A and B are shown apart, each in its own frame.
Chain A
Amino acid sequence: MDKVMRLTTERGVVLFSKSSCCLCYAVKILFQELGVTPTIHEIDQDPEGREMERALMRLGCKAPVPAVFIGGKLVGSTNEVMSLHLGGGLIPLLRPYQAFC
């Protein structure tokens, strides 16, 4: 739990993912499209992965991955990210972290 809490308070956009998860891949593509490079933690490649999975579920994520945090606050999983984006609320949150090269 500590590791997850510490990682989520990192500045910017944080994405908890699994390298084998294609839905996580879709979220990564979306961020790429929006000019954001999130800090990605592949929990299936982390020795504390199981713990982190449980911690994420306890934070309220129905599926442990993908889990998106922006500026330390939990945004949610794919559902929440998509809803936020279609509602126009995602881009304002991402603005400080966008970088269009």
Chain B
Amino acid sequence: MNSPTPQFVPSRLSIYEPIHQIGIWGENFKRNGNPNTSTSLIVEVDNKLENESETTSHEMLAPTNNYEQEASKPIDKIQRRLAQNREAARKSRLRKKAYVQQLENSRLKLIQLEQELQRVTQQGLYMGGVSEGSHIGFSGTVTSGIAAFEMEYGRWVDVQHRQICELRTALNAHISDIELRILVKSGMGHYFELFRMKSTVAKADVFYVISGVWKTSAERFFSWIGGFRPSELLKVLVPQLDPLTEQQILEVCNLKQSCQQAEDALSQGMEKLQETVSSTVAGGPVAEDSYIPQVATAMEKLEALVSFVNQADHLRQETLQQMSRILTTRQAARGLLALGEYFHRLRALSTLWATRPPEPSLP
């Protein structure tokens, strides 16, 4: 009774996995053209799977009616059969390799698509949800670090705005230094809170932080490794702090210089990282469709990006701390007000720009 076992579905149905078994089946079917030989073929395929070598030839000569006929054929026909089997095995190995390669490529594409989808969803949520002063809660969701950050950042901006108003009122009302000190400390602490938030979300998605998509467009224009340039910060602050003592002027000058040097060093490090990732991704033969080794290596190198973002934020924090050390309480309060007001105006600029009237169309 030539009933095939479940593993050996005839090839013409073409629904059988893995592919190479169909191949072997198909070829053998064609060659014999006799359905009664199915028993012998089962033996052949079975042995092929276990041990693709010439020693299987003996096992293939198992005593069935059909093989008795074959045993009487000349030896060279058997040799030819062996060669054909080896060829079939080789081809099926190649097909399997191609199939696996295809699976790997599809997997990578799937990951890319998922990330793209997540990014677009986040951006959609952000654009729709957060605007100056008003904050719509996100219904629903996404437990990812990015969504959490965006909510926190929305609150951060609101608190920032409130603090600026408090500072302005306090400075105009000429409150005591002790009370002013409290406002200065909470203002500084608020910035440090932002750096902590950024550090957390950078671990989840460093590209998100670096892209600055969480900031308004005008702020993004000035972005340097995921935030403002420390040297820029000093340029904005210093004119607002007059009058400074001689000692203070000297210290601020030194701070400007060392800040600039540190910034340059990090910038060059970033350039080096870009070069490294670029040459890694571009490397290898383009003629082949497989790019997985290059992409995998590039992934490792990108880990360094998180360190750079953290270092840049560290530089920002350090700059703020040094300034607060150099300045008097009142000067520090004025500085914080100036800085906060600057970013507030940049955000207003972004809104204004986004809502500007369309250009009149030409007649």
Question: Which residues of A approach B to under 8 Å, CB–CB?
Answer: 20-23, 25-27, 29-30, 33-34, 63, 78-79, 82-83, 85-88, 90-91
Contact = CB atoms under 8 A, between A and B. Distances in A.
B268 interface: yes
Contacts of A63: 307
Contacts of A21: 304
A29 B270 contact: no
Contacts of B251: 88
Interface string B76-119: 00000000000000000000000000000000000000000000
Contacts of B314: 79, 82-83
Contacts of A83: 314, 318
B268 A25 contact: yes
B350 to A, nearest CB: 30
Given A22-B269, A23-B304, A33 B264 contact: yes
Contact of B273 (A22, A30, A85): A22
B338 interface: no
29 contacts: A22-B269, A22-B272, A22-B304, A22-B308, A23-B304, A23-B311, A25-B272, A26-B268, A26-B270, A29-B264, A29-B265, A30-B261, A30-B262, A33-B265, A63-B307, A79-B311, A79-B314, A82-B262, A82-B311, A82-B314, A82-B315, A85-B261, A86-B255, A86-B258, A86-B259, A86-B322, A87-B322, A88-B258, A90-B258
A63 B252 CA distance: 31
Nearest to B315: A82
A72 to B, nearest CB: 24
A85 B262 contact: yes
A84 B307 CA distance: 18
Contacts of A27: 265
> 5 shortest A-B CB distances, which residue pairs?
A26-B269, A30-B265, A22-B273, A29-B265, A26-B265
A86 B276 contact: no
Contacts, number: 68
Contacts of A82: 262, 311, 314-315, 318
Given A22-B308, A23-B308, A86-B319, A33 B272 contact: no
Contact of B311 (A25, A78, A91): A78
Interface in B293-347: 301, 304, 307-308, 311, 314-315, 318-319, 322
Nearest to B254: A88
A29 B261 CA distance: 9
A35 B269 CA distance: 18
A25 B258 contact: no
Nearest to B323: A86
Nearest to A30: B265
B266 A26 contact: yes
B126 to A, nearest CB: 30
Contacts of B255: 86, 88
A86 B264 contact: no
A37 to B, nearest CB: 15
